[in-house]
Amino acid sequence: MRALLVGAMLLGGCMQTSGIDESDWVRIAAGTARYQAADASGATFEQHSDGFAIMRRQVSQAEYAACVAANACLPLDGDLREASAADLAAVGVSWMDASAYAQWLTQRTGVVHRLPTYAEWVLAAGEAFQDIQAEVFDDARNPAQRWLAEYDRESRRKPLDPRPRAFGSQGSNANGLLDVAGNVWEWTDSCFGKGDFCGIRIAAGQHPSGLSDFVRDPVSGACSVGVPPSNLGFRLVRE
């Protein structure tokens, strides 16, 4: 009996959890996401996604801080460096920061964690997803036209209160996801356009937006160097 107890203790000591409660995961059934291209091409897509588990909420400040403490994630910039609330989303996070957190969680748990594709996010968002018609240009590949169109659309939108809000304060959708299309945009793993190199990713929220990876290392970041917006966070998919 004593040997069994010791064995159980040793086994328990080897088992690692993600730090994300099972209740914070939502299972999304297989389905087809229908959406318009995030660029100005006007193209529409239908993409099938197999069933997957996605976080009910965004990754919290406390969870990201644990990754920083483990030297697996970079500290955030400015006032966000000390952010550690368990009920507020980690924001000011670059795509590379979010990917590093997912990799750390994968290595720590042995279960693959990753950013959702845009199609998966659309499927999980359900009725909260709004596919806003984009302006279509003769040359949709021209980034200058896309950026000008995005600037014009942003200038006409009602500004959001950027202050962090507790999880659930902006409601839930039919799938049980909290704060979808709230005041925090979420990184996806999908590229904004087609090409061999992807430096612009789709951030999902009240509308899709193409954003730079926001490399925070000036040595390796080149043109992508910058500080991510303070309303930019992420939630993960688990395989």
- Predicted local distance difference test score (pLDDT) of residue 31: 95
Q: How many CA atoms lie within 13 A of 159 on its CB side?
A: 4
Report the relative pairing of strands 185-191 and 232-233 from DSSP bridges. Answer: parallel
Instruction: Pick out the chain residues at pLDDT < 50.
Output: 1-17, 134-135, 218-224
Query: Rounded to whole angstroms, what are the CA distances from 224 to 61, 94, 103?
Result: 24, 11, 21
pTM: 0.79
**Secondary structure (3-state) at 209:** strand
Closest CA to 63 of 84, 77, 81, 78: 84
What pLDDT is attached to residue 221?
41
Distance (Å, whole) CA 118 – CA 202? 7
Q: Where are the domains of the chain?
A: 20-238
CATH numeric code, 20-238: 3.90.1580.10
pLDDT tens digits for range 6-30: 333 333 333 344 568 999 999 999 9
Q: What is the DSSP letter of 29?
A: -
- The CA distance from 181 to 125, in Å, is 8
Token pair of 145, please? 């036209």
pLDDT of residue 164: 81
Which pairs count as long-range contacts for 32-35, CB under 8 Å and 24+ apart, including other chains?
32/123, 33/119, 33/120, 33/122, 33/123, 34/122, 34/131, 35/118, 35/119, 35/122, 35/129, 35/131, 35/208
